[in-house]
Structure 1
């Protein structure tokens, strides 16, 4: 059992849209990711996702509205909900989601990460 320093883990990489696993519990993973710009529209049919903003501001576009998530805030996106994360500047995020969750949901493209690095 070791404690995890979130800032230290986030300092280990500089790329975007490439989540890293920094913890696991009860079939769930804690992932650190950096975003800058727009991601893609996607959904997860079987998994809820929790986005916790560590640094910056994340804008979560939904089909009927946009939600602003600031540092220290989180948003749970329910399974089956189409969403598109947008970062107007670099944002540091922790994701809490089942280990089965693919970052691009039902979409397969160049942003899809089938295997995640563990830090």
Structure 2
């Protein structure tokens, strides 16, 4: 039997911002955690939805149609094809559920973009 994991504790232990790490997989999806602060980048995922679950702190997800404000315990699914930009004014811990094919910042590449190999590194 595997050991239980605490996504919140794993996310809190991360030292890099905006660098999601894979902590589990379920069928064709990865479960990821991240520590974030500031703004990521405007991007979209043309073929995949993206679930954000807030473990600690506050996250605003800006979209062309408006923004959604999320606090600890809240979740939101950004539908495929929707341009969005996650923003955390203060440090925020989050969990993501994404298909294994989801690119970190979609087709947009910035200094914060992480490859799948980076996201799969041991914690």
Shift of 1:2: 2.8
2:96 — aligned with what? 95
Equivalenced residue count is: 119
The match for 1:83 is: 84
Contact 2:8 2:93 in 1 (8 A): no
Residues 38-88 of structure 1 show CA distances to partners (whole Å, capped at 9, x for unaligned) of 110000001100000000010010012111011100000000000000001
Give runs of aligned pairs for residues 1-119 of structure 1, distance below 5 A.
1-114=2-115, 115=117, 116=119, 117-119=121-123
Structure 1 residue runs without a partner (length 5+)? none
Counterparts of 1:32 and 1:85, CA distance in 2: 14
Instruction: Name whichever structure is richer in helix by fraction.
Output: 2
- Residues 11 and 94 of structure 2 are in contact (CA less than 8 Å); yes or no, is this contact kept in structure 1? no
Question: Which whole-Å CA distance do the structure 1 matches of 2:30 and 2:47 have between them?
Answer: 15
Cα distance, 1:118 vs. partner? 4.0
Deviation per CA, 1:76-101, whole angstroms, max 9, x where unpaired? 00000000000010010000010111
| TM-score, with structure 1 as normaliser | 0.94
Could you state the TM-score of these two structures normalised by the residue count of structure 2? 0.91
Which aligned runs of 4 or more in structure 1 are off by greater than 4 angstroms?
none
RMSD, aligned CA: 1.1
> Which stretch of the first structure deviates more once superposed, 10-19 or 90-99?
10-19
